[in-house]
Amino acid sequence: MPARKENLIRVIEALAGQADRIIVALNGYSEVPQELQRFSNVECVITDNRLADGYKFLKVGECKGYYFGVDDDLLYPSTYVRDTISAIDRYHCIVSYHGKRFDRKPIVGYHRGFSFNVRCLGSLAGDMEVHVGGSGVMAWHSDDFKFSIDDVGSPFMADLWVSKRAHEQGVKIMALAHKSDYFRYLGTPDTTIWVRRRGNPEETTLLKSFLS
């Protein structure tokens, strides 16, 4: 079994018992993996990969209640949904376990010049507000924030598109305290979007459009 599909199945296995409904965007797949068909609460949609990571929000407009954006290269803990809902109910905003603050002005870049960087694979001692949240470890309630797949304007920048809409709606993004072993990374360092897009001027342009 290819590593990508094997990782996806492991992620779904970890989350299936925690969620009412899971939408899986199969970017670039030719067919739905048979292993996913055994989950009654999993709906698979084969996509063209045009929006890449943005397709995690493919049906977010249909969501009434708690919405979680997840990735296929992170293994989520058994208490993930419960832990995160508790934080949403506490803050009534977007929450994430990954993000950046850009307190220094003028902004010089998305991948440099930030004042604080929260990593989901690192640790954070206490909750803190961030300007950009990581969409693969992010959640909110539909009463607190409105987002649509139509808000994703380009691929590989889902974090920024969500954060832009949050800024426009006046919704905070809170990074949640966690330990470095809360998540487990299933991919390899050279496959992350951060590595592939580092230095892309489009990210800095989009960041400056809502944070200056």
pLDDT in tens, 130-183: 999 999 999 999 999 999 999 999 999 999 999 999 999 999 999 999 999 999
pLDDT in tens, 168-203: 999 999 999 999 999 999 987 655 555 555 568 999
Backbone φ and ψ of 9, nearest 5°: -65, -40
pLDDT band for position 4 (50/70/90)? Answer: confident
Stated pTM of the model: 0.93
What average pLDDT score do residues 86-105 get?
A: 97
What average pLDDT score do residues 11-34 get?
A: 96
CA atoms within 13 A on the CB side of 44: 19
Burial of 27 (0-12, 13-18, 19+ CB in 10 A): buried
Cα-Cα-Cα-Cα dihedral sign, residues 90, 121, 76, 182: negative
